[in-house]
Structure 1
Amino acid sequence: MNKLTEAEKYYRLLFDVTPLPALVYDLSDFSILNVNEAAVEAYGYSRQEFSQLTLDRLLDPRDVVRVKEMVHANPQQSRQKELWKHCRRNGELFDVEINAYTVELETGLVRLVIVQDISERLQSDAKLRESERHYRELYEKANDAIYTHDLQGNFTSMNEAGERFLGYAHKELLGMNIAELLPSEDLGRAQQMISMKMVGGSNNTVYETKVRTKDGQYLTAEISSTLIYQEGKPVGVQGIARDMTERKRMEDQIRQVEKMNAVGRLAGGVAHDFNNRLTAIMGFTDLLLKRTDKQDQHHYYLEQIKIASERATELTRQLLTFSRKQILQPELLNLNEAVSDWGNLVRVLLGENIEIQIILGSEIGLIKADPSQLEHVIMNLAINACDAMPNGGEFTIATTDIEISDLQSKYNPAIPPGNYVRLLVKDTGCGMSQDTLSHLFEPFFTTKERGKGTGLGLFTAYGIIKQSGGYVEVKSAIGEGTSFLIYLPVVAGTNISSTKEIAVPPVSAKSETILLVEDDPSVRTLVCEVLESAGYSVLQAEQGQEALDFAMKYAGPIDLTVTDVRMPGMSGFDMIERLKIFRPQMRVLFMSAYTDDARVTSIAQNLNLAFLQKPFTLEALVQEVQALLMRTNNATATA
């Protein structure tokens, strides 16, 4: 009996001190027979209150019937584990996990219930599930490819963006190795980075690589990857791949534009200096030719110098055209009419084994360009197309109106938004590699055999297009031909006006006074001698400010000012603007090795002003001066 009493005390002690709520109820009427202190704290009832309760009061009212049915269905079940909601004294429901044990006593069956509050655990589980759902959604809906692969490079997961990027179905990707997607040179680098991570290098690496898609294309991707660890050991790699193809294309376009602008500035500077030198060389050569007998051997030598100088002049003219500093003669132009005029010349140029298609858009807008220069562009492209199709093919010239939207310009930043006439020049020739395309418009770059190409054709064509306010896009691939898409801005208005000068026959010079402003001493000496030989009185100044100061103090008439455009200090434009204030009737002739001043167009429209492109012949100089002064005389006579 004493042992039984001792055992009873022992089990009662365990019942009372267990940290989990525990209670005993009668299976016959569900009355609560006993509870421990933890139950008092958990439910909020005192022991005395518990003794007057049945199990119903501790259950969620919605579960009472179901609980009783389960108990009555199997009252002898010795152990039972369930998840329920219980109710505290204040009415608060909380989630519990119960372990119930049926015990048979002399008075009948009772059940011991151990209760564990799992509210926080369920809340944590719910948050975890929500977090997993959230990250799963991010994983699946991300715009970038997210993937994992084992240390051997076999893919173990890939999100939807990765499937779209690579063109493979999910089942195809699982088990596929990275070696099947990366070119050999990039594969070695990727494997090296994994090895470096495993021996203690940076776990987070970012690099750029080419990726081969299912259809065989190579796209550019930026990869950011880290190792996956389990129990402290690396078991795989997880990474994010961002499609950088379009961005790289835009960056390449911007770099190409910047490179061409830089080359253009260099070309323009070189051409400017050469034109000044050539003006002096050609001019003094002409003077010597006039003073030597044609039978003299020296006369022949001088002619050869002149021929070489003229060839050099053509080279500098092409450089100026590329750098957009050649003075063009733009006019409002219907490109359909121009293309129709060029058609016969193109047919003769390409020959009979190349089929020519001319497709003219309906009601295209007018553009402003120099038709002779655009013809030069078309002829150059036709020559290149002919070389690309030695066995025949198709050559297409097409025009159409096109509007470039803000969105389209965003993806092709080289062409700003606006309305354009697009001129398509297309051939079905051998095409070009990406490397060739990247150098296409560079001066002296050619793929032709030595001696068969100068490398200035496309270089010059690019300059003409840019100087006409246009843009050019080239699409080509090996074996797929080449397309040049030239975008020329549409201008408002339909009144076609030409900037071409009217030819004026030479007249005898009078004793007019000419102010000559030129910083290059050789050119200044030459022009002065030529004009004085023609009977003019010539006043000389080296720079703009010097000329301005002299003209303000000079009391006599100045009938004409012949001036360079670019000079140290004050430019020719600025000098003339100030000089015209107090000598408004004075005529002006600009000599220009080149000019990129935006005021050229507006100034050229004034009949009192004219331009003479360096290098020029002595006859051209005298003729231009005589024509300008004759206008002055005619205007005076009319008045």
Structure 2
Amino acid sequence: MPALMIVNLVNAAALILVLYITAHFTLGIAIWTLVIGFVSVRTLLQSLRQRRKAAPETVSRRAILKVVRSSVMFGLIWVYPSMFVLPSVDGGAQVFTAALITGMICGGAITLYPIPLAAVSYSGPVTVGALVGMVLASNPVAIGLSVIAASFFFIFFQVIQRHAQLFVSEFVAKLDLEESNKSIEKLMAETRTEASEEKRRSEKRLAEAQKMEAIGQLTGGIAHDFNNLLAVIQGNAELLEELKSGEDAKPMTSAIVHASQRAAELTQRLLAYSRKQPLRPEVIDTRKLVSDMSDVLQRMLGETIVVSVGSRNGAWSALADPGQVEAALLNLGINARDAMPHGGKLIIECANVTLDEDSNIDGSEITAGDYVVLSVSDHGVGMSEEVRKRAFEPFFTTKGVGKGSGLGLSMIYGFAQQSGGQATIYSEEGKGTTVKLYLPRAYSETESTVKPKDEAVPRGNGETILVIEDDPAVRNLAEMMLRNLGYNVICAEDANEARQIVIGRNEIGLVLSDVILPGGASGPEFAEELRAGYPKIKVIFMSGYPAEAAKKNGFLGSDSVLLNKPFRVAQLARAMKEALR
């Protein structure tokens, strides 16, 4: 378009110059000069400004209409010289005017061919003016040039008619393509935004999972070391009780045993959070369990708390450790009571839920499948969002000093995940809290495990036991326990010392070894070596880690026997009897 404006200005200037030289310059020509100059310059400047704002390839209906409008305007402007100037001049001026108009018709048509309507709008009026001028003109050359211009236009018009439909369809298709491209770009932008949000949520979940895993490893390690200390305290207290040194000492030894048992329970809670506690999953009738627990909770929480149970008909059975489920409900009941100091309502519900592969609950991922959901709700003070996010962390509590260990919810969280489920919290300040426990559905009915009856502590018959333990206190304790049970005991600090003791001694019937030993060889590694040379010697392992965790981490084989520290005399005695039988 700018090039066409420049051509208009140049041709107009040439025509004016020729008319001025040949003394044919009139007032009408002067007015025409001002009009075409003003319109050409104005259109040229607008076109240049528009080009700086938009990309040259941009096509729109508005841009096409602008070109057509400008073409009509310039076509009408050039009607004046073709209709009125051409017949009014003579000689060379008439021939030049005819040639100039012919060139304008042909050049304009070719330049505007990509936009047929613009080409016709520009060349049509000029051609009509030239035909009128031809009739009025007397110069044969001018008449000939006008006929050539008119013939070109009519041939060009036939071509335009033939290709107009193709152009329109291509133009519409291009506009549709641009609209489609805009829709695709919008969709891509929305997709990028959603992907960015999902990435942010995934990174947040990963960071939370890594934090919880790190805390779990820390608490598991603490529990393992703490169990060694408890083994010494509890074992020596039991030995003191058996010495019967006097009735005055018995209350003190009983207090030590009781305190060590409570400490052992604390380590079990730590292990529960770190998902290393031993579980005994059974098929649980959730409706019956909740119904039975409601009576216990009602008595425990007092008259100011009303316990309401709502279980839907057809609730599935769950596969979990019933003792841990009961402990979870008791913990949640106590938390609810503390959240409702003036009394209120505690609601326990059972429901079935099926989750697919894309399911996540409260931002936590969970394996697709069928679950039984135990939800415990209260109408207490609720939690802020900051407190809710940290509620499952061990030792985190909002209760006063001495009123809570901060391990209740963390134990529930670890137990749920170790069981193959999940635990979530929803809470609003001033409205209450709901904790949901997702437990995997049980697909087969099995009888509950029958608890063994209490038996007398079995004693040894002078068998020789090799004890391998690097901790001197635990080693001495095990030696004293075994001697009191009637066994001969040989002690070693590590595998190297034990290897030297075993050589040439056929009386050793059993090895009691810690799992983790210094000096290069672990307990299980030494046991494998021992079985190769002495297949009749039995082996029992002891560790602060539960059996499931030790086997999962590769410490033990699936058929290995493990005593969990701290163990009592009766537990050690039964393990010995079973292994030596």
Inter-partner Cα distance in structure 1 for 2:395 and 2:543: 25
Instruction: Quote how far apart the aligned CAs of 1:619 are.
Output: 4.2
**Aligned: 1:259 with 2:275:** no
Inter-partner Cα distance in structure 2 for 1:363 and 1:562: 50
Inter-partner Cα distance in structure 2 for 1:328 and 1:562: 24
Instruction: Quote how far apart the aligned CAs of 1:425 are.
Output: 1.7
**Aligned: 1:388 with 2:339:** yes
Instruction: Quote how far apart the aligned CAs of 1:377 are.
Output: 0.6
Instruction: Quote how far apart the aligned CAs of 1:433 are.
Output: 0.8
Inter-partner Cα distance in structure 1 for 2:232 and 2:431: 49
Q: What residue number does 1:359 align with? A: 310
Alignment partner of 2:489 out of 535, 538, 555: 538
Inter-partner Cα distance in structure 1 for 2:309 and 2:554: 33
Instruction: Quote how far apart the aligned CAs of 1:348 are.
Output: 1.6
1:562 match: secondary structure? strand
**Aligned: 1:444 with 2:395:** yes
Instruction: Give the helix-richer structure, 1 or 2.
Output: 2
Q: What residue number does 1:617 align with? A: 568
Alignment partner of 1:478 out of 423, 429, 433: 429
Q: What residue number does 1:529 align with? A: 480
Q: Is there any run of 5+ residues in structure 2 with no aligned partner, and where?
A: 1-17, 41-73, 85-93, 161-166
**Aligned: 1:561 with 2:514:** no
2:23 match: secondary structure? helix
Inter-partner Cα distance in structure 2 for 1:3 and 1:401: 99
- Report the AA paired with residue 359 of structure 1: G
Alignment partner of 1:343 out of 280, 294, 306: 294
Q: Contact 1:317–1:326 at 8 Å: present in 2 too? A: yes
Alignment partner of 1:506 out of 430, 438, 457: 457
Which has the larger Rg?
A: 2
Instruction: Quote how far apart the aligned CAs of 1:524 are.
Output: 1.3
Output the TM-score relative to the length of structure 1: 0.61
Instruction: Quote the RMSD (CA, aligned, Å).
Output: 5.1
Instruction: Quote how far apart the aligned CAs of 1:570 are.
Output: 4.5
Inter-partner Cα distance in structure 2 for 1:314 and 1:278: 11
- Residues 502, 292 of structure 1: CA spacing in aligned structure 2 closer, same or farther, 3 A cutoff? closer
Q: What residue number does 2:545 align with? A: 594
- Residues 97, 315 of structure 1: CA spacing in aligned structure 2 closer, same or farther, 3 A cutoff? farther
Q: Contact 1:330–1:498 at 8 Å: present in 2 too? A: no
- Report the AA paired with residue 254 of structure 1: L
Q: Contact 1:257–1:414 at 8 Å: present in 2 too? A: no
Alignment partner of 1:283 out of 221, 235, 238: 235
1:394 match: secondary structure? strand
Output one character per residue of 1:83-108: Cα deviation in whole Å (capped at 9) or x when no partner.
5544xxxxxxx986866896997964
- Report the AA paired with residue 6 of structure 1: T
Q: What residue number does 2:276 align with? A: 325
Identical positions, percent? 31
Inter-partner Cα distance in structure 2 for 1:598 and 1:524: 23
Q: Contact 1:333–1:496 at 8 Å: present in 2 too? A: no
Q: Contact 1:507–1:626 at 8 Å: present in 2 too? A: yes
1:259 match: secondary structure? helix
Instruction: Quote how far apart the aligned CAs of 1:292 are.
Output: 7.0
Q: Is there any run of 5+ residues in structure 1 with no aligned partner, and where?
A: 46-54, 64-82, 87-93, 145-160, 162-239, 633-639
**Aligned: 1:415 with 2:478:** no
Instruction: Quote how far apart the aligned CAs of 1:447 are.
Output: 1.3
Alignment partner of 2:324 out of 373, 396, 415: 373
1:616 match: secondary structure? coil
2:437 match: secondary structure? strand
Shifted more, 326-335 versus 476-485: the winner is 326-335
- Report the AA paired with residue 284 of structure 1: N
Inter-partner Cα distance in structure 1 for 2:496 and 2:22: 123
Q: What residue number does 1:187 align with? A: none
Inter-partner Cα distance in structure 2 for 1:138 and 1:95: 38
2:336 match: secondary structure? helix
**Aligned: 1:36 with 2:99:** yes
Inter-partner Cα distance in structure 2 for 1:488 and 1:598: 23
Inter-partner Cα distance in structure 2 for 1:348 and 1:41: 106
Instruction: Give the strand-richer structure, 1 or 2.
Output: 1
Instruction: Quote how far apart the aligned CAs of 1:558 are.
Output: 4.5
Q: What residue number does 1:460 align with? A: 411
2:374 match: secondary structure? strand
Aligned residue runs from structure 1 range 54-93, under 5 A: 84-86=118-120
Alignment partner of 1:269 out of 192, 196, 221: 221
Instruction: Quote how far apart the aligned CAs of 1:456 are.
Output: 1.9
Inter-partner Cα distance in structure 2 for 1:347 and 1:97: 99
Inter-partner Cα distance in structure 2 for 1:397 and 1:98: 89
Q: Contact 1:403–1:420 at 8 Å: present in 2 too? A: yes
1:406 match: secondary structure? coil
Inter-partner Cα distance in structure 2 for 1:299 and 1:578: 44
2:303 match: secondary structure? coil
Instruction: Quote how far apart the aligned CAs of 1:383 are.
Output: 0.8
Q: Contact 2:540–2:562 at 8 Å: present in 1 too? A: yes
Q: Contact 1:396–1:426 at 8 Å: present in 2 too? A: yes
